[in-house]
Amino acid sequence: MKTLVVVVALALALVLQTRLAPFLVLGTSPLDLVLIVVVYVAITSGPTTGLLAGAAAGLAQDALSSGILGIGGLAKTVVGYLVGLASTQFIVAGPLPRFLTFLASTVIHAGIFMGLYELLNLRDFGFPWGGVLGQGVANALVGIVVLQAIELLPGAAERRQQRSGGGGMRTSRRLD
């Protein structure tokens, strides 16, 4: 069930990203809804699920774009794994940790994505770190809102409490 939810969420994010791209701008920064979903999945499910979700979402995004197949997948794989790994080590339930997580995820994703394109001499991005930080902030704001909204859904709090054994502050239940 959870897998299906993740797949649906990723698919929805992809559709929204591809259909509503002109409107997915917060201020001057475009949102990356797929990245938000990947980060969310990694936070709630751990590194393995995070990296698989990242790989799948990134590959799908690459397939739908005109870029090299695998670069976005690799970037999101790394992000999903790192965020998942971080969420097992640190408490990322509060707004600020989540904000930082989304911001860092965006920066890491952009660094890998643009860095690979630059490294392979395929495209010159000029390292727009201001834009990347803006996108990170936008992603973080949207991500925090989405996460809070999901957690406010009926039964979400109970499920989270069950997963965490009732006493932990971690957002997901992992055996590692």
Interface residue list for other proteins (CB under 8 A): 2-3, 6, 45-49, 51-52, 55, 68-71, 73-74, 77-78, 81, 84-85, 88, 116, 120-122, 163, 172-176
- Closer Cβ to other proteins, 134 or 151, answer by number: 151
- Closer Cβ to other proteins, 26 or 163, answer by number: 163
Element (H, E) at 105: helix 95-119
Query: Over the range 77-111, which residues count as b (16 or more CB within 10 Å of their CB) and which as e?
Result: bbbbbbbbbbbbeeebbeeebbbbbbbbbbbbbbe
- Phi/psi-derived region of residue 18, left when phi > 0, alpha when psi is between -120 and 50, beta in every other case: alpha
- Least gap, CB of 120 to other proteins (angstroms): 5
- Least gap, CB of 54 to other proteins (angstroms): 9
- Least gap, CB of 172 to other proteins (angstroms): 7
**Cα–Cα distance between 32 and 26 in angstroms, integer?**
11
- Closer Cβ to other proteins, 55 or 138, answer by number: 55
